[in-house]
């Protein structure tokens, strides 16, 4: 698979995602676990989802929309969405 124009394994995509989410939203990386809530862990409000779309585009080169997040509760759900968009 390709993320950010570099060939990466799925595990590497997850680790990179944890890195940029942790850095941007200033939360402990260890809290970004598949079973944890995306919204609560990152303390997201409606505006933050706009920035999440930008971050995903910049880091994974995937275009998401606000609609894509409707069914997302956990980081695990989010990773599956990313996997689907990467067509893996």
**Chain positions contacting another protein, by CB under 8 A:** 24-26, 43, 45, 47-48, 50-51, 53-54, 57, 63, 65
* Minimum distance from residue 11 beta carbon to another protein (Å): 27
Nearer to another protein, 24 or 77 (CB): 24
- Whichever of 10 and 24 has its CB closer to another protein, that residue is 24
Cα distances (Å, whole numbers) of residue 19 to 27, 28, 70: 10, 10, 23
Residue whose CB is less far from another protein, 16 or 48: 48
69-85 exposure pattern, b = at least 16 Cβ within 10 A, e = fewer: beebebbeebbebbeee
């Amino acid at each position: 698979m390709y993320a950010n124009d570099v060939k990466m394994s799925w595990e590497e995509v997850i680790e990179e995602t944890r890195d940029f989410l942790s850095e941007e939203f200033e939360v402990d990386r260890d809290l970004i676990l598949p079973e944890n809530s995306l919204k609560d862990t990152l303390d997201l409000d409606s505006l933050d989802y706009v920035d999440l779309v930008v971050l995903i585009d910049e880091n994974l080169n995937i275009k998401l929309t606000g609609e894509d997040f409707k069914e997302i509760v956990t980081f695990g759900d989010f990773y599956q969405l990313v996997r689907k968009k990467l067509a893996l």
